Amino acid sequence: MFSSKNDIIVDPFLGTGTTMAAAMVSARNCLGFEINHGFQDQLVSIDGSILTTANNRINQRIRNHIGHVDRRLKENYQFKYVNQHYDFPVMTRQEVDLFFNPLERVERKDESTLQVAYTNAPNKDFKAG
């Protein structure tokens, strides 16, 4: 129900790997089990598309937040906090340090292991100034 960056997400029914992909996007580790070999091709192909898909999803989440901020500002809402990584207003103190790590690369280590490298710099398109 809740996890933090670098936590391990265990998926006992890996299937097509959607939980694994979500873990990659949110900088979590994933340990998945699948006994149906019919999913193998889909799981093998995930490393070819996850980089673009994940970074697009991260960028969309940030754009959605900026749209929310714009709507609230038009309603004269006064934000109390500013995110330190992106320099845009946020609603709560918990969001001040919120950072979405863009994926740098995904490497297949062996038949059953993918390793993701993340960047620690925010996408400059969302950085104020």
**Amino acid code (one letter) for 99:** F
Q: Is residue 30 part of a domain?
A: yes
Residue 87 domain-assigned (yes or no): yes
Instruction: Give 129's pLDDT tier (boundaries 50, 70, 90).
Output: very low
Whether residue 55 contacts residue 103, with contact meaning beta carbons closer than 8 Å, is answered with yes
> Is 3 within a domain?
no
Phi/psi for 70 (5° steps) reads -60, -45
Residue 127 pLDDT: 54
Q: In the chain, what is the greatest distance between 2 CA atoms, to the nearest angstrom?
A: 55
Contact assessment for residue 64 and residue 86, using Cβ atoms and an 8 Å cutoff: no
Q: What is the overall mean pLDDT for the chain?
A: 88
The domain total for the chain is: 1
Residue 26: CB partners within 8 Å, gap ≥ 6? Answer: 3, 5
User: What confidence tens digit (pLDDT) does each residue in 54-82 have?
Assistant: 999 999 999 999 999 999 999 999 999 99
Residue with tokens 């919120």: 98
Residue 74 structural domain = 8-126
Tens of pLDDT along 30-50? 999 989 988 877 777 777 788
d(CA 33, CA 29): 14
- Residue 77 DSSP SS3: coil
Q: How far is CA 10 from CA 13, 28, 93, 103, 124, in A?
A: 9, 10, 30, 21, 33
* Residue 5 confidence (pLDDT) above 80: yes
Q: pLDDT: is 41 or 97 the higher one?
A: 97
The answer as to whether 66 is a domain residue is yes
pTM assigned to the model: 0.80
